[in-house]
Structure 1
Amino acid sequence: MSLGALLLASLNVTLPVFVMVFIGYLLRRLAWIDYAFVTTASQLVFRGTMPVLIFLSIIRADLDATLNPALLAFFALATLCSFLASWGWAVLRVPYADRGSCIQGAFRGNCGIVGLALAAGMYGEAGLSTGGLLLGVVILTYNAFSVVALASHQPGRSANWRSIFTHIVRNPLILAVVAAVPVAALEVELPIWLVTSAGYFASLTLPLALICVGATLSLRSVKVSGGLAFETSLMKMVALPALATGAAWLVGFEGRELGVLFLFFASPTAAAAFVMAKAMGGNATLTANIIALSTLMASVTITLGAFGLKAAGLI
């Protein structure tokens, strides 16, 4: 395949995702949707459609091919290393009061929406099932590490670990994974009408979630953001994905598994980072700027990264 064809193949995966994000931004600017819609739609995705999508993708998958404990363990380890690297960078480059927000912004990716959508675009149902299993690790590690980062840099504040643990074990995405794995392992046959209806409901997930991401983008925030937000976004979108993907290749991952790992590592900063920063007294404005900048960068960095990996024959 020529380099031009490889680039086109990469664009065919990434552009539909970011076009939906742009549509969300445009709809918000035209006042066709408002923040009340975004709030309601986000809750619908988080509590309903995405858990169903993950459940269906796992029960339809061949677990012998997709359930790879080594992959899950590597992703957890890579997330820990990214978290520690972000912390070390922040100690050297970031004022103390902003460190928690920058650490979270640098390592916490939007895997549940952007990463999963890209995995589905590149690998179809297999990408969804692999990504769905990884989301269990994502939710556990990202929430726990974010709390540590934010609590550690807010004098007088401490993490309520019991509340955090309760929040994690009740997370609908984790519950979907827990419910789906035994159904898939036991090869339980669900009624066709139920699977079809669930499929209709689950199909709302990615377009609705991506529209919500676009609707929350603020170019005004990007314009006023300083070098700190830009530097954090470069850490999130360039430095850490390159290091983590390189490490994955060195330890032996290739093909679909390496591709999904790259897409998850390279996802822009998660919108949930803003909610947590605001709740725990972090710099919410800085976090919003990082989210906006990293999302804008993602259309370029992910496309070029996927193109490079395809050209090298690694995915």
Structure 2
Amino acid sequence: MLNAFIPIWLLTALGYLTARFDLVGAASADVEAVLGRFVFRVAMPASLFGMLAKADLHALANTSIVAFGISSLVACGLGLAMGTRVFGRDVPNGAVVAMASGYVNSANLGIPVAIQVLGNAVFLSTVILFNTVLVTPIVLTLMGLSDGPAPGLRQRLRGIAMLPVHNPIIIASAFGALVSATHFHVPVDVSSALSLLGGAAVPVALITLGMSLHAGKGAGKRAGKSTGRAEALDTANQAKFIRSKKSVITETIASIALKTAFQPVLAYVLAHYVLNLPAHDVLAVTLCAALPTAQNVFIYASEYALDTVFARNAVIFSTVASMAGLWTAAALLK
């Protein structure tokens, strides 16, 4: 299982060294922003479209994903409530806390862990499908909400309804689901090109995450919103992220606890006691729920000019903490 974590650490370390020694010949914060936009607007949409175009959407109709899905949504909901009600964040930044608290790293870490412990990645494919089809659109819609003057109800509803239309990840996912539902076969050459492009999403995202470890010391620039309104946060926007050290530590620990402890325990209770699933399915549900926060939360926070420092810390520290949770789940339930 440890081998599954090694590529994550290596690519993150490579990103840090790239920024630390200025290997790309430009300001590290600028490069970080460009790479983040590339992942969000180009590589990740290609990856999600290719995955959903080949997916069986009927896989969502199984009992095991119910247990996992409820645990994920409850953890995200508690994270959103904690971020907005307890720590005073606005809804977009509260969505960052929500995603950090319940959105699992199901792809680049989950697949090797599942193969090692479960023997296959069948259930992981359902988890990836659940995150892509349901959780991602909800979180990105919340992140895209404006914190400006409150509009009327009709304007607010229209604004929320139009947000997905401007989001390349949601658009690509919707087209991928449509291709799957209509059984349309994407031409081989197009599919191969999308696979090559989508394959860049995870490694570039991890390198971007690593670069933020060094670039974050400058506390400067973040990728602008998908509307392109700003690449650097202005002074007023930066002030939203200024918190006491105690508050930052408390919020980070609480979010990591939701992700690496509360979610897998809730998933186990639902799978074992409520749904009475077979032992192997209980292990699969619990193990997947114990996976750490996905690096996507950092990419999304960067794209929407939100609190990338919290997102980065949540990804890194939850990955460390999840090692104990994954080993415990495998040892007790396998």
Residue 257 of structure 1: how far off its partner (Å): 4.6
Q: Secondary structure at the match of 1:251?
A: helix
Match of 1:205 among 183, 188, 201: 201
1:81 counterpart = 2:74:
yes
Residue in structure 1 matched with residue 189 of structure 2 by the alignment:
193
Q: Secondary structure at the match of 1:39?
A: helix
Residue 38 of structure 1: how far off its partner (Å): 2.5
For 1:58, give the aligned amino acid. L
Counterpart-to-counterpart distance in 1, 2:211 and 2:270? 39
Residue in structure 1 matched with residue 45 of structure 2 by the alignment:
51
Higher helix share: 1
Counterpart-to-counterpart distance in 2, 1:114 and 1:311? 20
Counterpart-to-counterpart distance in 2, 1:82 and 1:246? 11
Q: Secondary structure at the match of 1:117?
A: coil
For 1:290, give the aligned amino acid. F
For 2:113, give the aligned amino acid. M
For 1:236, give the aligned amino acid. S
1:181 counterpart = 2:195:
no
Residue in structure 1 matched with residue 20 of structure 2 by the alignment:
29
Instruction: Check the 8 A contact 2:256/2:314 in 1, yes or no.
Output: yes
1:136 counterpart = 2:164:
no
Instruction: Check the 8 A contact 1:132/1:177 in 2, yes or no.
Output: no
Q: Secondary structure at the match of 2:186?
A: coil
Residue in structure 2 matched with residue 251 of structure 1 by the alignment:
270
Match of 1:67 among 56, 60, 82: 60
Residue 170 of structure 1: how far off its partner (Å): 3.6
Instruction: Check the 8 A contact 2:39/2:204 in 1, yes or no.
Output: yes
For residues 168-190 of structure 1, what are the alpha-carbon distances to aligned partners after superposition, in whole Å with 9 as ceiling and x for unaligned?
24422222332223433454333
Q: Which moved more, 1:212-221 or 1:241-250?
A: 212-221
Instruction: Check the 8 A contact 1:114/1:210 in 2, yes or no.
Output: no
Q: Secondary structure at the match of 1:270?
A: helix
Counterpart-to-counterpart distance in 2, 1:269 and 1:56? 17
Residue in structure 1 matched with residue 162 of structure 2 by the alignment:
166
Residue 24 of structure 1: how far off its partner (Å): 0.9
Q: Secondary structure at the match of 1:217?
A: helix
**Tell me, which stretches of 5 or more residues in structure 1 are unaligned?**
1-8, 279-283
Instruction: Check the 8 A contact 1:229/1:289 in 2, yes or no.
Output: no
Instruction: Check the 8 A contact 2:15/2:209 in 1, yes or no.
Output: yes
After superposition, the Cα gap between the structure-2 partners of 1:241 and 1:160, relative to the gap in structure 1 and judged at 3 Å, is farther
Counterpart-to-counterpart distance in 2, 1:39 and 1:289? 14
Residue 206 of structure 1: how far off its partner (Å): 0.9
Counterpart-to-counterpart distance in 2, 1:200 and 1:100? 35
After superposition, the Cα gap between the structure-2 partners of 1:68 and 1:36, relative to the gap in structure 1 and judged at 3 Å, is farther
1:290 counterpart = 2:310:
yes
Match of 1:263 among 288, 291, 294: 291
Q: Which moved more, 1:126-135 or 1:194-203?
A: 126-135
Instruction: Check the 8 A contact 1:115/1:263 in 2, yes or no.
Output: yes
Residue in structure 2 matched with residue 42 of structure 1 by the alignment:
36
Q: Which moved more, 1:16-25 or 1:191-200?
A: 191-200
Residue in structure 2 matched with residue 4 of structure 1 by the alignment:
none
Instruction: Check the 8 A contact 2:283/2:329 in 1, yes or no.
Output: no
Counterpart-to-counterpart distance in 2, 1:140 and 1:190? 24
Residue in structure 2 matched with residue 6 of structure 1 by the alignment:
none
1:15 counterpart = 2:35:
no
Q: Which moved more, 1:84-93 or 1:177-186?
A: 84-93
After superposition, the Cα gap between the structure-2 partners of 1:134 and 1:123, relative to the gap in structure 1 and judged at 3 Å, is same
Match of 1:108 among 89, 96, 99: 99
TM-score normalised over the length of structure 2: 0.69
Counterpart-to-counterpart distance in 2, 1:257 and 1:129? 11
After superposition, the Cα gap between the structure-2 partners of 1:195 and 1:311, relative to the gap in structure 1 and judged at 3 Å, is same
After superposition, the Cα gap between the structure-2 partners of 1:298 and 1:81, relative to the gap in structure 1 and judged at 3 Å, is closer
For residues 260-314 of structure 1, what are the alpha-carbon distances to aligned partners after superposition, in whole Å with 9 as ceiling and x for unaligned?
34326x44792233665x5xxxxx6xx3442343233133112222212211236
Counterpart-to-counterpart distance in 1, 2:302 and 2:55? 33
Among all aligned residue pairs of Structure 1 and Structure 2, give the percentage whose two residues are the same amino acid.
16
**Tell me, which stretches of 5 or more residues in structure 2 are unaligned?**
116-120, 220-242, 272-280
Residue 226 of structure 1: how far off its partner (Å): 0.8
For 1:12, give the aligned amino acid. N
Instruction: Check the 8 A contact 2:80/2:98 in 1, yes or no.
Output: no
